[in-house]
Amino acid sequence: MGMPDRMITWQMVQPTSRDKESGKEIPGRIEKKEMPLPELGPGEVLVEVAGCGICHTDLGYFFDGVPTVVKPPLTLGHEISGTVVAGDDVWIGKEVLIPAVMPCRRCYLCKTRRGNRCLDQKMPGNSLGIYGGFSSHLPVPSIDLCEIRNRGNTPLEHLAVVADAVTTPYQAAKRAALEPGDNVIVIGIGGVGQYMVQMAKALGANTVIAVDIVEQRLQKILSHGADFALNAKGKASKEIFGEIKEIRKQNGLPVFGWKIFEVTGSRPGQELALSLVSFTSKLMIVGFGLQKVEYSISRLMAFDAEIIGTWGCLPEYYPQALQMVLSNKVVLAPYVQTRPMSTILETFHEAHTQPPERRIILIPDP
């Protein structure tokens, strides 16, 4: 830990695009660049990055044309843990999480506890200037930091995933008003869904049904919060609905009041989730995708049901989500892996081609 002479950052020079005349794909580029240390503004600190997780959103920015607020070139990465090395003396030396979304704290949304969707929010790797977590250091507002205390044997870099993959499910559970005794379905047991299952169970869900198309993920999540696991590969929504109906019947579970979390962001996942909406249920849209789906919204009236979107997580919720990890109510180790920051380009391509079974955290090279 210490103050660098210059800040080494991985800067995305150009995301994947297409030539306007030929239509040919122009591969995205990531270059290692050295940049002067930023001048810290009032209330800002400099964080030395310990680890930054690769999120599906990063891949969307780089490969799929999902726009960033700050136009490239910029450094991606919004799932960050690290240590404060400059700025306010109160913070120097402290290990921290940097929230993936940092509200302005002045607007109406912020004042009414909807700051996770503040329209002037700052997000590393998107709207925090050029700064993101795939770098050695970055400046951030200290007011939003979550201090990490008593982490025991948990590696600081592993805790990077709390900054998005764990806190996003926590926010989703809060928006769903998840209560002890609720019955839950989680569709998609990938980088976020595996924590959605754990979070739901840790918050007191009576029954959690996990749905995915990868059998290995399903078998694994049965040891980490899921009561039932259904493989949806090659099956129509009607067939999955029938399997869930049979689980309800065999276990005396109600047809009403289920809380459904759609985490894949894919068309099949969203179509399945919509087909499961029933009496007084809530469908939480957690995953992001660019596709469109059709749905008869009058069904919501008939079922007195709800469909709710959820975005990021309030920084105020980070300490609670972090404590769930540090108390082992939500486990990280079976679901994370680390790689050197220098492998970023090949790792991006690998993760884009085949989503990893364990979330990849990039860490500074020795």
pLDDT digits (tens, 9 = 90+) for 13-40: 567 777 777 778 878 888 888 888 888 9
pLDDT digits (tens, 9 = 90+) for 56-77: 899 989 998 889 999 988 999 9
Tokens linked to 287? 């995953």
How many whole angstroms from its chain centre is CA 26? 28
* Residues 102, 112 contacting (CB under 8 angstroms): no
Residues of the chain with pLDDT under 50: none
Q: How far apart are CA 133 and CA 329, in angstroms?
A: 27
Domains of the chain, each with CATH number or no CATH = 7-164+313-363 (3.90.180.10), 168-309 (3.40.50.720)
The pLDDT assigned to 12 comes to 64
Instruction: Give 244's DSSP letter.
Output: H
The pLDDT assigned to 14 comes to 65
Q: What angle do CA 88, 165, 201 make, to 5 degrees?
A: 120
Say if strands 137-141 and 44-53 run parallel, antiparallel, or are unpaired: antiparallel
pLDDT digits (tens, 9 = 90+) for 330-350: 999 999 999 999 999 999 999
pTM: 0.93
The pLDDT assigned to 22 comes to 79
The pLDDT assigned to 69 comes to 93
